Amino acid sequence: MRSNRPDTIVSGRITLNEIVLKSVSVDRTLDITDFVDSFNLFEDIFTNTLTGNMSIGDTGNLISNFPIVGHEEIHITMGTPNIERVQTKKFRIYKVTDVNNQNVGLRRYTIHLLSNEFFMNLKSAVSRSFPKSTTSSIAEKIFRTDLESDKDFDIEETQNVYDIVIPNWKPFDAMNWLAKRSMAENRDGANYMFYETRDGFHFRSLESLVEEESVGVYRRRPSDVAEGNPDEEQYRNVNQIEIVNAFDMVANIPNGMYANRLVIHDMIKRKSEILDYDYSKEYDKMIHVEDNKKTNNWRLSDTQNMSGQGSSMLVHESADELTSRPLSKQTLVSRFDDTNTYYEKTLQNRISQMQQLNNIKLNITISGDTTRKVGDVLDLEIPSVETHVDGTVPMDKLYNGRYLVTALRHKIDSASHLMVMEVVKDSYFSSLPTE
């Protein structure tokens, strides 16, 4: 599967300069570009490493003659035409599936790929103490020492200081444990994630990501309509939109999005403490995908607006008593001393913030673009299904606006390059009516 770089940008084209099969046990390499029928590459902010797969049309019996037995690497050099960002990524083959001898001289199968750090995670364990350390500094030590990775590591400093002993955990388990207990400097949120993009690994809070400038405006419109710069606009046409989640109260309430209770049992002082979380009071303390100070409200009266309501997912703090009952979700933790109480601060905020991201989730299909990655923020223009009297079509009041890219899939074959992006937001574009 080869694709040459054209002189002008053509939407959905891809440059695959080389796909090389390399044995890690013997000194042997083979260019298999012409054997690859299709290639899928996945990024996910909730998954620690990149994953991928390739569909192979094998006319040279590579699977037996090379052979492909799980000790091989795939090196892929790829980029978007006329965008100066060509990258070579290395993956380990971890299994072969769907082996099918279609006819004499042709065998088809699927090769599955993972980043090398996944295998370093399998063969390593973290078993040592980290006295008086921030979670970000511990994460960096584990990344460099235990995962032995030389990839770029984008790490956001944390305020949490812990005395930690990690008891023989896998590095990824330790990193995810640290992420759940991390708070960024000068922030109240608790939504750190550890994940990989094509640029390297990241230990970042989602709040810091959503504060970044938008990478551009993506519009739902016919593919043959372009405005402004036609070359650039081709990559920002949304071919298809699927609303995966709009809201789910049966999930939001018991998962503690609106209210939850933390019961702390103090082992030293021999007493308990109860902390209740209230979404309506905490909302404007956090950074959201949509600005919680927006003024394009649906308010029916300028005198009726709850403080900080902005673009939140509540109409009013008294709109429904089900959303204000902390007993909908209870968590019990033990406190053994007074030094490490950050976990108590992060737990309730994280419970709510992670559930908020599950409410407004869309899948959008666009022409392939290797400059996009998870963690990007984009503006999505979605026309409403209604039409005004003058014939104009307004933007949708709920689903229009800013989104965070949390997952993407590159779908590449000899004819095209498409990308499916999962985009989410934790707040509405416009404020909800208050009466």
- Residues 82-97 as b/e (b if ≥16 CB within 10 A, e otherwise) read eeeeeeeeebbbeeee
Centroid of chain to Cα 200: 14
Q: Which of 326, 215, 213 shows the shortest CA–CA distance to 274? A: 326
* Residue 18, CA atoms < 13 Å, CB-side half-sphere: 13
Q: Does domain 120-208 have CATH number 3.55.50?
A: yes
* pLDDT score, position 242: 94
Pick the CATH number of 214-248+358-425 from 3.50.50.60, 2.60.120.920, 3.30.70.240, 2.40.30.150: 2.40.30.150
Q: β-strands 330-335, 360-367: how paired?
A: unpaired
* pLDDT score, position 3: 44
Residues 6+ apart with CB under 8 A from 369: 80, 83, 235, 419
* pLDDT score, position 283: 87
* pLDDT score, position 12: 54
Exposed/middle/buried for residue 116 (C-beta within 10 Å: 0-12, 13-18, 19+) = middle
* pLDDT score, position 177: 95
How many other C-beta atoms can be found within 10 angstroms of the C-beta atom of residue 48? 22
d(CA 7, CA 18): 19
Domain boundaries, the chain: 15-114, 120-208, 214-248+358-425, 249-354
Angle at 268 between CA 167 and CA 130, to 5 degrees: 30
* pLDDT score, position 356: 94
d(CA 28, CA 152): 28
Sign for the pseudo-dihedral over CA of 369, 371, 374, 378: negative
d(CA 76, CA 435): 56
Q: Which of 408, 422, 365, 424 shows the shortest CA–CA distance to 40? A: 408
* pLDDT score, position 434: 63
Q: Which of 289, 306, 285 shows the shortest CA–CA distance to 297? A: 306
* pLDDT score, position 9: 41
d(CA 152, CA 124): 20
Distances (CA, A) of 176 to 114, 170, 389: 18, 10, 53
d(CA 191, CA 203): 10
* pLDDT score, position 195: 98
Strand partners, 101: 107
Q: Is the pTM of this model over 0.85?
A: yes
Q: Which of 278, 286, 235, 233 shows the shortest CA–CA distance to 260? A: 278
d(CA 372, CA 14): 13
What's the CATH class of domain 15-114? mainly beta
* pLDDT score, position 231: 53
Question: Is 136:156 a contact under the CB 8 Å cutoff?
Answer: yes
Tens place of pLDDT per residue across the chain (435 aa) = 544 433 334 445 667 778 999 998 788 999 999 899 999 999 999 999 999 999 999 998 898 899 999 999 999 987 766 665 678 889 999 999 999 987 888 999 999 999 999 999 999 999 999 999 999 999 999 999 999 999 999 999 999 888 899 999 999 999 999 999 999 988 889 999 999 999 999 999 999 999 999 999 999 865 444 444 445 567 789 999 999 999 899 999 999 999 999 999 888 888 889 999 998 888 888 899 987 554 444 443 344 344 445 678 776 655 567 777 888 899 998 877 666 667 788 999 999 999 999 999 999 999 888 889 999 999 999 888 887 777 788 888 888 999 999 999 999 887 788 999 999 999 888 777 766
* pLDDT score, position 307: 46
Question: Is 358:245 a contact under the CB 8 Å cutoff?
Answer: yes
Centroid of chain to Cα 145: 25
d(CA 369, CA 366): 8
* pLDDT score, position 316: 60
Report the C-alpha dihedral over residues 368, 369, 372, 377, rounded to 10 degrees. -80
Exposed/middle/buried for residue 321 (C-beta within 10 Å: 0-12, 13-18, 19+) = exposed
